[in-house]
Amino acid sequence: MLMIRCPVCGIAADETEFTSGGLYGRLEETENRVIPRDVVREWWLCARGCGTWFGMARHVVNQRVTATWAAGDEPWDGRH
Amino acid sequence: MRRPTRRYSILSLLKEARHGHSGWVEAWRKAEPRSSYDVVIVGAGGHGIATAYYLAKLHGIHNVAVLEKGWLGGGNTARNTGIIRSNYLRRESMALYGLSHSLFEHLSQELDFNVMFTPRGLVELAHTRQELAELSRIADANRHFGIKSWMIPTSEVHSLLPSLDQGSHKRFPLLGALYQPRGGFARHDAVAWAYARMASQLGVDIVENCGVESIIADGERIVGVQTSRGRIDAGTIMVAAAGESPPLLAPLGVNLPIEPVTLQAFVSEPLKPFLNPVVMSGAVHGYISQTAKGELVIGGGTDAYPSHSRRGAWPPIEDTVAAMLELFPFLSRVRLMRHWGGSVDITPDRSPLIGPAGPSGLYVNCGWGTGGFKAIPGSGFVTASMLATGKVPPIAVPFGLERFAAGRMIDESAASGVIH
Amino acid sequence: MARARRNLRVPEKEGSNIGRLIDRTQPISFTFNGRAMKGFAGDTVASALIANDVRRLTSSFKYHRPRGVLGIGSDDPNAIVEIGVGDRRTPNLNATQVLLAPDMRIASQNVWPSPRLDLGGLIGRLKPLMPPSFQYKTFKWPVPTWRVYEKALRTLGGIGTVPGAADPDRYEHIHVDADVLIVGGGLAGIAAAEAASAADLKVVLVEETHRLGGIADGYDGRVDGKPLLDWVQNKVRNLAASRDVHILTNAGVAGLYDHGLAIIHERLDPNASVEPENAPRERIWKLRTKAVILATGAHEKPLVFPDNDRPGIMLATAARLYLRRYGVLPGQRVVIATTGDEGYRTAADLAAGGAEIVRVVDLRLDPDGSLFHIMKARGTPLAVGSAPVGTTKGKKGELAGVTIANRLTLDGPALRSHADADTLLVSGGWGPAPFLAGHLGARLVFDEELGGFRPGELPGGLFVAGAANGKFHAAEVLEDGWRAGSIAVEHVLGSSWSSVVPSHSIEVTADDDAEPVGMLPDVATAAERATAFVDLQNDVTIGDLDIAIREGYSAPEHLKRYTTLGQGVDQGKLAVANAAMVMAKALPNATPAHTTFRPPWTPITFGAIAGTRRGVLFKPVRETPLTALTSDALREPLGLWRPPAVFPRPGESREEAVRREARSVRNGVGLFDATLGVKIAVQGPDAAQFLDRMSATNLADLEVGRSRFALFLDNDGFVLEDAVIARAENDRFIVSAGIGRADNLCAWFERWRQREWPDLNLFITDETERWGQLLLAGPRVPELLAAASSDIDIAGFETDSYAEGEFMGTTARALATRYTATPEVEIAVPAGHLPSLWEQITEAGKPLGITHFGTDTLHRLRLEGGAFDLDHETDGSVTPYDLGLGDLVKVDKPFFVGKEGLERPGMTRSSRRHLVGVLTEDPSFVPPPGAHLVLDPDHAPPRRVVGHVTSSGYSPTLRRSLALALISAGERHIGDRVFIVSSGEGLPAIISSTAFFSNGEPT
């Protein structure tokens, strides 16, 4: 069970308080992309908290979360 | 020196019993990969091995390799709950799963291996008016297609399931059920082993511990695969590697619309028999059956996010157990013995992908999601014909990759509240 | 004739530690299989049964062989019994883990018809016919007979019997955070806890049994001058007093999961006085921790030889602990077979306890440990370099004697000897048990010299200490525990942490290495291998492994699945190491590997997993402000709610009530609780632009004070939601949609606002629960409203109007709609005001014959009006065109959500199903929703289907059945005849338009 910290409101909670929402980026940028066995950048919603969609980097095999960020505040310069 | 025993029967068992079972032979050859085959199948799960078997048996193509990066049948074939049914909603699905179901009926005889197909009946409970309408729709679709599956009233549900707690006091009172008497379950591992044994006897090479690293194309044509044990040439290649398929095809410019998600299941400690049919419930969200060994095999929804992990998260287990106790409150003191997960390959419309993909000579058979085990015989049968003739058989045509771009989805998610 | 039962309880001796956990002043009566027996407070069920000379506890799973207690903990594969009666009867409990309680009723399982006469034992005679997975090889012909065989197999399957009634006990969950979780309260766990708490970290120490100290009480010696046991007890007291350490006993770590989650299953002791009256039976701790230390100890390996499973065969250290803790002897004439020094330690104890040591069989050729020399000097009969190679049984299948052979001469018959004995204690050395590491994906490494698995590479934050790490001597264990505690501290702090390893003067006899052995005799015949059990719970023998390997099932997972090795309730804890040793010999080129260890470590109840989510708390019903005022309603589950379906009068059926309510609405006025109707406020300078992008419908020219019916599509172009959009002000819109859908719609809006158009300036607020809402419907609605005080001209309200103001003394919003094909007004007021408004309107409407109505009637009314409902007519694969609502799609908008999907060729192909009406020729026949429509009902299946009924019902207004259906190219087939098959008969119906009724008149 993931433990996630919302970068917007700061709450840290179980995955059941959040909603997973697909690959990070605008819709047209994420279409037809394959999910690798690696770290993926995804949208997550602080569903039971502040209601904000934010970005999260998670390894889809070992589930390690390496970063979360508010939309528009991406911790990298390029786009995907 | 005695002759080895190959055939399986009560007589061969009796004979071997007298000799300490020393005469049995390897179920399938531990083949070493050769440098070239007519057909290479990537993935020795149920679908891959069944395809190889039918290629050899029905189409006379014996020069076939099935390459497996781990152990045979070790993916979702080994992790599912063995449920067999064909009461799907859409015509395309009924044709495919119906074919598979009918092959299951005689699979033990066909393969000389008892796969323990046990049609104890399958009951899908309706707890709301909307569920009742949805299940009635499936029942009528089945009736007109010729699949023996129909709605039964609550009285009949209770006689099939005397232990079900479904009085009017419940949060979701029972309103009826969809019933498929020939639905049931089979022994998942046995299906993989049985196909492997026969395919091997027909000359197919099943190569375990041989991971495919890439697919090699020469212009518009497929020429072989690069594996952890060297390059293997083949003019026809089928990828049947579930959630591992998209990364293999992506370098060829083929994007399979597949999302990997962890699906969990669990068993209870063994109990004396009390549950005859398979029971599924959408509103409370879970399904349950009892094996011959006495274990309750239980499953529910997938984990809530994409994952290649075979270790699931805890919340879905809690949800599913709560659902089971709502149906069978007396199981509260019974214990969970083991839980596990598999990574399932889910498509947008919850129907599989079968057909040619990308360069000529390359095919896929994947995207079976949460319900692929029951389709193994039918899928293998149809896919073998596709590989042998180069033509997609009519039954498989609707499942081609192009259906998404064309807007011709075969949406089974609408009618399947619960996953199995 | 029943054998006279001996009393195997050792008499109390002054100054002796023997039986230190029992209180001989508190006898406890209990029954086993109906027979009255006595134990003492402090006994476990297992120790009490041993004291009463119960040898056979149960029958084995496959062959129904008699089985007795083998071990003293959760690793025991045999001691599985049923305890309790009535609704507290619990199957499959491990007798070693349950404390004896007064009047406990204990029963054997898997015995038929009775424990004394288990006819299942006859099956054991068929054993030669039942190699592993024999069922795959037979029962195939003739085809229908599998059903018969399966039934028989099924009857024989299972162990316990399910309880007959709902569980009266309570279970709960608790969520806790910790820095370090230590699993196991033995010496290593205690040392690790001490180390971690020295750094002021929050430590949770979890122990599976009811007491800390592990098996230290099985050893003599001194630490820092104090007796070992006293020293340990002192340490435990200090830990318990520490504020940083929380100790949980009777609690097992069921599983380790990602992100530091541990699921701990705590069994509350019903006899303990610290828990309140209605304490739960069990508790799940969901612990999040930064580090985990596995101090889970080791399992003493049984020996694998022919007929090694008889009652009377027990692990040597377990027997010693039963004596020391509970004062019980496993028997009176004892043979001990050992590969290390543990056997001597046990021999010394049992001899002191009064048992006759018939022989100590040491499998090593040249033992040289101090314990060996002590026992030799005492004149204990020894057989060095020998091994047990068989057993004989008594009348009840219990152990009667042991066959011993010299290992050097292989299996030369001349050198075999036989010893009469009622007990055989075995010790095959220790196999570490760090198996929980497997839950996090770690693979353990086989250590040939040890004959067991050691931790290999471990995931970050996971550490292993003590016997689980292959350290067995007290001094090593303490040091390793401290070491693990210290590195866990460094992991948590993220910096180095200097700790001084406490130095202890430890005087505990060190053992010589035990010799790992596999199958005995070393060169065994197939017949011998076929009766040498490696997994006692699932009846797996070495012969079974041989057959599996011969047949190619040699990959660890194949072997496990083919033979069922390790798949029992005990998860094969005692089988793992022995199977690996046998495999190492059988497959010299392969490295022995284990299969994946899956949670839980030991089984945990479903009740504990569900916690409080049972009964009314399974899915708690959400209520509206009117729930209390509508208690006369018949309710229907709908999402999280159970809104009224109808308000039946006494003696009225549901259908009669629907027809009465519908007629009342059509002729007068009806009142409906529409609180669950979605109300979302969209406001801001870009609100209009946002909604216009979201909706397929044109909203750009919507005027203030007006509303419009609009469709929202998903990315594929299918109908996702429908709503009425009202423009309250230039920059403020109110979106009203179907009941119970607010979460979906709001989430959909937010997703696009935040993710795709963060530059748009607007807010989205779900106001659904803030506003209570009523729906008034019927031709006399204007009449009713005319009498009400309001600053909205609500009586003259025309369809599609929207206004805000005051209504009957309350702030209100009003919207005029036409869902039910009759004048309709939705009035929303602050939720708290709704009950009084409901009562006022009910009162004011009495002269007009106002009727309360529910969802059943609402659907009947909208069916008459030919209006679609999202839950009935759409299923995620229906387009606006399919619904005949193409005019609600503004195709020339440059963009709206779903536009691209809708433009794909398949979405508009002519054979798609259209929503049309269906009128049965027999007006009283109501085709059920889901019924399919066919052209030729007499055609044999598969027959062509043209569509299906989505909604249906009898219209009391039109006095006939009505149905909506999705029919292939339906719009082009109005007037055509189709058939519905009901009870085997094809009933004709005519395809019609959906406009059954308009302005109160049939069309």
Residue C951 · residue C963 · CB < 8 Å: yes
Q: What is the pLDDT of residues C789-842, one digit of tens each?
A: 888 888 788 889 999 999 999 999 999 998 898 999 999 999 999 999 999 999
Would you call C969 exposed, middle or buried from its count of C-beta atoms within 10 A (0-12, 13-18, 19+)? middle
- Residue B414 pLDDT class (50, 70, 90 cuts): low
CA-only gyration radius of chain A, Å: 12
Closest-CA residue to B342 (of B243, B195, B210, B212):
B243
Averaged confidence pLDDT in chain B:
93
- Using the 3D structure, point to which of B326, B346, B366 is the last residue of a domain: B346
Q: Mean pLDDT lowest for which of B14-28, B327-341, C363-377?
A: B14-28
**Residue B413 placed within a domain:** no
- Residue B100 pLDDT class (50, 70, 90 cuts): very high
CATH architecture of C171-298+432-507: 3-Layer(bba) Sandwich (3.50)
The pairing of strands B64-67 and B39-42 is: parallel
Q: Give C438 to chain A, closest Cα distance, Å.
A: 13
Report chain A residues whose CB lies below 8 A from the CB of C747: 19, 45, 47
Residue C1000 is classified by DSSP as T
Give the percent of chain C with pLDDT over 90. 79
Residues B246 and B128 in one domain: no
Residue indicated by tokens 């990574």: B343
CATH number of C621-675+769-874: 3.30.1360.120
- Structure confidence at residue C275 (pLDDT): 55
Residue C311 · residue C59 · CB < 8 Å: no
Q: Report the C-alpha gap between C963 and C920 in whole angstroms.
A: 8
Whether C920 shows a pLDDT value over 70: the answer reads yes
- Does C685 sit behind a cis peptide bond, omega within 30 degrees of 0 on the bond before it? no
Structure tokens at C134: 């024999």
Whether C557 shows a pLDDT value over 60: the answer reads yes
- Structure confidence at residue C1002 (pLDDT): 57
Q: CB A3 to CB C259 under 8 A?
A: yes
Q: CB C941 to CB B115 under 8 A?
A: no
Residue C510 is classified by DSSP as P
Cα C28 from chain centroid? 35
Q: Mean pLDDT lowest for which of B178-182, C377-381, C609-613, C983-987?
A: C983-987
**Which chain C residue shows the shortest CA-CA distance from A24?**
C755
Residues B253 and B226 in one domain: yes
Structure tokens at C126: 């068929």
Residues B149 and B287 in one domain: yes
Spell out the residues 6+ positions from residue B128 whose beta carbon is closer than 8 angstroms to its own: B172, B175, B283, C636, C637, C638
Give the percent of chain C with pLDDT over 70. 97
Give the CATH superfamily of C678-768+879-907: Aminomethyltransferase beta-barrel domains (3.30.70.1400)
Residues B167 and B276 in one domain: yes
User: Interface partners of A (3+ CB pairs, < 8 Å)?
Assistant: B, C
Q: Where are the domains of chain C?
A: 23-134, 171-298+432-507, 621-675+769-874, 678-768+879-907, 910-1003
Q: Report the C-alpha gap between C93 and C80 in whole angstroms.
A: 5
Give the percent of chain B with pLDDT over 90. 85
Q: What is the pTM of this model?
A: 0.95
Q: What is the pLDDT of residues A8-48, one digit of tens each?
A: 999 999 999 999 999 999 988 888 788 888 999 999 999 99
First to last CA, chain B: 48
- Residues on chain C bordering chain A, Cβ-to-Cβ distance under 8 angstroms: 257-261, 288, 441, 715, 747, 750-751, 754-756, 758
Closest-CA residue to B52 (of B245, B192, B235, B248):
B192
Cα B303 from chain centroid? 19
For C89-202, where are the E strands, in sequence order? Answer: 90-94, 104-107, 171-183
The pairing of strands C171-183 and B335-346 is: unpaired
Q: How far is CA C373 from CA C230, C344, C379, C380, C855, in A?
A: 27, 9, 10, 10, 88
| Domain that residue B273 falls in | 119-182+259-346
- Structure confidence at residue C447 (pLDDT): 94
Which DSSP string corresponds to B3-59? Answer: PPB-S-SHHHHHHHHHTTT--B--SS--PPPPSB-SEEEE--SHHHHHHHHHHHHHH
Residue indicated by tokens 């979460």: C743
- Structure confidence at residue A80 (pLDDT): 47
Query: Among partner residues A26, A51, A62, which is closest to C750 by beta-carbon distance?
Result: A51
Q: What is the pLDDT of residues C250-271, one digit of tens each?
A: 999 999 999 999 999 999 876 6
- On whether any CB of chain C is under 8 Å from the CB of B325, the answer is yes
Task: Indicate left, alpha or beta for B371 from its phi (over 0: left) and psi (-120 to 50: alpha).
Answer: alpha
Closest-CA residue to B194 (of B76, B297, B293, B109):
B109
- Residues on chain A bordering chain B, Cβ-to-Cβ distance under 8 angstroms: 1-2, 14-16, 19-20, 32-37, 40, 42, 58, 60-63
Averaged confidence pLDDT in chain C:
92
Q: What is the pLDDT of residues B52-90, one digit of tens each?
A: 999 999 999 999 999 999 999 999 999 999 999 999 999
Q: Return the SS3 of C69.
A: coil
Q: CB C715 to CB A45 under 8 A?
A: no
CB pairs under 8 A between A and B: 48
Render the burial of C464-475: b for 16+ CB within 10 Å, e for the rest.
Answer: bbbbbbbbbebb
Mean pLDDT value across residues C455-466:
96
**Residue B17 placed within a domain:** no
- Structure confidence at residue C179 (pLDDT): 98
Query: Among partner residues C527, C606, C872, which is closest to B20 by beta-carbon distance?
Result: C527
Q: Return the SS3 of C350.
A: helix
- Structure confidence at residue C84 (pLDDT): 92
Q: What is the pLDDT of residues C57-110, one digit of tens each?
A: 998 888 889 999 999 999 999 999 999 988 889 999 999 999 999 999 999 987
- On whether any CB of chain A is under 8 Å from the CB of B256, the answer is yes
Whether B150 shows a pLDDT value over 60: the answer reads yes
- Residue B418 pLDDT class (50, 70, 90 cuts): very low
- Interface test mutation site (partner A, options B249, B256, B258, B307, max chain A beta carbons within 10 A): B307
- Structure confidence at residue B415 (pLDDT): 53
Q: Give B116 to chain A, closest Cα distance, Å.
A: 34
Mean pLDDT value across residues B165-186:
90
Query: Among partner residues C154, C165, C257, which is closest to B313 by beta-carbon distance?
Result: C257
Residue C305 · residue C520 · CB < 8 Å: yes
Residues B337 and B356 in one domain: no
CATH number of the domain to which B67 belongs: 3.50.50.60
Residues B235 and B266 in one domain: no
Render the burial of C159-177: b for 16+ CB within 10 Å, e for the rest.
Answer: bbbbbeebbebbbebeebe
Residues B176 and B305 in one domain: yes
Q: Mean pLDDT lowest for which of A50-59, B293-302, C581-590?
A: C581-590
Residues B44 and B66 in one domain: yes
CATH number of C23-134: 3.10.20.440
- Residue C527's CB is within 10 A of a number of other CB atoms, namely 11
Residues B249 and B272 in one domain: no
Residues B263 and B315 in one domain: yes
Query: How many folded domains does chain B comprise?
Result: 2
Whether C413 shows a pLDDT value over 80: the answer reads no
Q: Report the C-alpha gap between C810 and B302 in whole angstroms.
A: 47
- Structure confidence at residue C13 (pLDDT): 84
Closest-CA residue to B251 (of B354, B359, B400, B346):
B359
Q: Which CATH number fits domain C910-1003: 2.30.30.60, 3.40.50.1000, 2.115.10.20, 2.40.30.110?
A: 2.40.30.110
Whether C112 shows a pLDDT value over 80: the answer reads no
Q: What is the pLDDT of residues C600-657, one digit of tens each?
A: 999 999 999 999 999 889 999 999 999 999 999 999 998 889 999 999 999 999 999 9
Whether A76 shows a pLDDT value over 90: the answer reads no
Three-class secondary structure assignment of C575-600:
CHHHHHHHHHHHCCCCCCCCCCCCCC
Most confident of B308-317, C576-585, C720-729: C720-729
Report chain A residues whose CB lies below 8 A from the CB of B256: 34
- Structure confidence at residue A77 (pLDDT): 63
Residues B204 and B335 in one domain: no
Topology of the domain comprising A3-27+35-70: Folate-binding fold (3.30.2270)
- Structure confidence at residue B19 (pLDDT): 85
